[in-house]
Amino acid sequence: MKNITVIGVGYVGLVTGTCFADMGNRVVCLDVNEERIAHLKQNIMPIYEPGLEEMVRRNVSASRLSFTTSYEEALNNPEAPAELVFVAVGTPEGVDGEADLRYVRAVAESVAEVVDHPIIIVNKSTVPVGTGDWVADVVMHRQANAMSFSVVSNPEFLREGSAISDFLNPDRIVLGSLDRSAAEAVAQLYFPLRAPIMITDLRTAEMIKYASNAFLATKISFINEIANICEALGADVKEVAVGMGYDKRIGRAFLDAGLGYGGSCFPKDVSALTHMANVQGKHPQMLQAVMQINDDQRRSVVSKARELAGGLIGKTVGILGLAFKPNTDDIRESPGIDLVHMFQEAGAVVKAYDPVAMLNAARVLKDVKLCEDSYDLAQGCDVVVLATEWNEFKNLDLDRVRREMRLPIFIDGRNLYDPALMYGAGFVYRGLGRGYGQVTANGPTNNHSARNGASQPVVNWNGRNAAVARK
C-alpha cells in the first residue's frame, strides 16, 4: 500500500484517485474548490461517470479515500505522509491555442512550499512538451526547505464515459522521467493491472500523449472528409468504414463519420500541438486541416437544414444531445452546443434535450427551450438534428416523433439510423456521407440517375419549395 495524494478532482483526478484507492492504496484527493470538496464529502459527484459514485462510496467507507482542501493535510499527515503526488489539474486552451499552465504552476509552488519530506511528483495533466523540466525548476526554486524530489510524466488515456474501465484495463502505461528509480516506483503502482509499461524520458512521454490524441482526431477528420466525398459520389461511408476497418493496418476504431470530435481533450490537444509546432518554426499542415475539417462538419449540418427547410429564419430546430459524447455530462466543445449557436445565428428558434447534460447546458445556453424528453423536443419542430448518439435515442418511437413535428426533416449527425427505416416512418432524412443510400421525399435513391444527380425531386412545404434530393 502506498500513500498517494491526487491534486485536482476533475475527470482525471477523481477517477485516478478513486481507482488507486480501489487497488488498496491510501489516497487523499485535494482541490482548492471548497464547494466541490464539500460535495464529495457528502458523496455528491461533481461529474457524471458510470460506476464512479459507487466506487467512491465504497472506498470512503473503507477509509482508503478522503478529500481535503488543505495541502498540509494532504501531504504531511504524520501517520501517512504522501509518497507520490499526482497532478491532475486543468490545462485549458490559451488565446493562441497554447496550453495554459497557471494551475500546474500553482500546484508546483504549493507542493514545494508545504512538503516536508522527499516526494515523487507525477504529472497526470496533459502538458506541453518540456513541462516536466519546468515543474522541476519551479519546485526547486520555491522550496521552503531543500527536500529531494523527482518529477515523472504519466499521461492519462481515459475516455469520458468509460474512464474507470480504461484506468483498470489500460492499453499501456507510459512513464517518463530523468530519474529511472522514480519512474519504476510509479510503475509499481500499476503492476496489478498487468499492462505493458513503457519507461522513457520526460519529453518523450509528454509527446506520446499529444501524438496519440492528434492521431485519433486525424482518423475522425479523415473519415469525415471521406464522408463528404462519399456524399458527392454516391457511396455510403458507413460501409466504406467497415471495408477499411477489416485491414489490420487501419482498424475500425474512430472511423465513424459524424459531427466531429469534441470534449476536453482532442480539441485542446490538437490546438496545443499545433501551437508547439508553430513556435518551433514547423508547419503543421495536417493538424491544421484536421481542425478545419472538424469545424466544417457542424456547418454542413446547418447548410443541409437550410436547404431542406427552405431557409431557417423563424423555423424551429430541435437538437437531440448536448453532451459531446454519450455517458457523460461534459459539454465542452460539444457539437450539439455548437449547433445550437449556429442555428440561432441563422435565425432559427432552437429547442434542445439531453439525458444527463441539461444542467451544464443551462449554464451556457440562452434563449433555448430545454425540453423534458425527445418527444417534447419534437413537438412543433421543422427540423430535428441528432447530435449525440445516446442509447436512449436508438429506441425512439419514430412514428411519434414524426407526428409531433411540423415538418418531417431529420438530420442524423451520427448516422445512427437506417435511412430506409427513417423513410418508412415518413421522414425527409439526411445522414452524413450516406451517398447512394440517401433517402429523398420519393424514397431511397438507389438508381443511377439519382446517384449522378439527375431528376432530383422537390417537395412543397405549405407553398414553400424546398429541395429534398440528395446532393
Could you please report the per-residue DSSP string of 212-236?
Answer: HHHHHHHHHHHHHHHHHHHHHHT--
Determine the Cα–Cα distance for residues 105 and 98; give it in Å rounded to an integer: 15
pTM of the model: 0.89
Question: Are 307 and 427 within 8 A, CB to CB?
Answer: no
Q: Which residues are catalytic?
A: 265
3-state secondary structure at position 380? coil
Full set of structural domains in the chain with CATH: 3-200 (3.40.50.720), 202-471 (3.40.50.720)
Determine the pLDDT at residue 96.
Answer: 82
Determine the Cα–Cα distance for residues 207 and 137; give it in Å rounded to an integer: 20
Determine the pLDDT at residue 97.
Answer: 85
**C-alpha neighbours within 13 Å on the C-beta side of residue 354:** 28
Determine the pLDDT at residue 466.
Answer: 39
Q: Which amino acid is at 238?
A: K
Determine the pLDDT at residue 436.
Answer: 53
Residue recorded with cell 482548492: 32
Neighbouring residues of 338: CB distance < 8 A, sequence distance ≥ 6: 262, 298
Determine the Cα–Cα distance for residues 286 and 249; give it in Å rounded to an integer: 20
* 134: nearest Cα among 113, 97, 107: 107
Determine the pLDDT at residue 454.
Answer: 31
Measure the N-to-C terminal CA separation of the chain; round to a whole number of Å: 62
3-state secondary structure at position 464? strand
Task: Give the β-pairing of 197-200 and 173-177.
Answer: parallel
Residue ranges of the chain whose pLDDT lies below 50: 437, 439-442, 444-460, 462-471
* 119: nearest Cα among 88, 83, 78: 83
